[in-house]
Amino acid sequence: MTSARALAVLLIPLALVACRSDPAVASGAANAVPMGEPADAFFRNLSTLCGKAFAGRVEVDRPTPAGMSPFAGKRLIMHVRECTADTIRIPLVVGDDRSRTWVLTRTQQGLRLEHDHRHSDGREDPVSMYGGDSTSDGTAVRQVFPADEASKAMFAREDRAVSITNVWAMEIEPGDRFVYELSRPGRLFRVEFDLTKPVKPPPPPWGWR
């Protein structure tokens, strides 16, 4: 055996050991959501609603907020307003308040949820574009998004430390219902939208171009 061939034989097992022992590689493989699997199925199901709007109701709001809840007694409308191959934007209208838009984006690992908050003049709120990436245990029906590090830092900076442990979720049962959920220790908020009865789309969200 030549010295070059001998060296190659020795290097192969070393390379395999290095791949197996790299915690970043192992972690990425364990947490990734391959394209074409549940995250994509969820995205496709939501995309079928593009252009349509639906009325909703607060299903769970526990514990009851101190003072007046911004959702109490208000008509709730979700509008799947804009869809591309990689992004779905869903304004949420609460009464006359058009400050909220959910932004769902494809990533290499799965999906990303962000919350775009605007003032009536279109300015971005100091607490905006927070969210997180989907977890590997999502399904075609339900996707879960724990707060990412950038969002946690924003919450701490804006004196909203209670939100650091936020976990958001979305559920879709095609032809039946869509659910948006916020949870954290001691808090659960769920809004359900009736997909069987489309309603008239609302005006554009604040800041929409």
The phi and psi torsions of 185 (rounded to 5 degrees) equal -55, 120
CA angle (187, 152, 192) in 5-degree steps: 40
Distances (CA, A) of 116 to 82, 109, 127, 130: 14, 22, 9, 8
Q: Which residue has the higher pLDDT, 129 or 3?
A: 129
pLDDT tens figures, 108-159: 999 999 999 999 999 999 999 999 999 988 999 999 999 999 999 999 999 9
- Which phi-psi region, left, alpha or beta, contains residue 156 (left: φ > 0; alpha: ψ -120 to 50)? alpha
Least confident of 7-11, 33-37, 56-60, 136-140: 7-11
- The helix (run of H) or strand (run of E) holding residue 29 is helix 23-31
Residue type, 43: F
Would you give the end-to-end CA distance of the chain in angstroms? 69
| DSSP state for residue 36 in the 8-state scheme | T
For the whole model, what pTM was predicted? 0.81
| DSSP state for residue 68 in the 8-state scheme | -
pLDDT of residue 209: 67
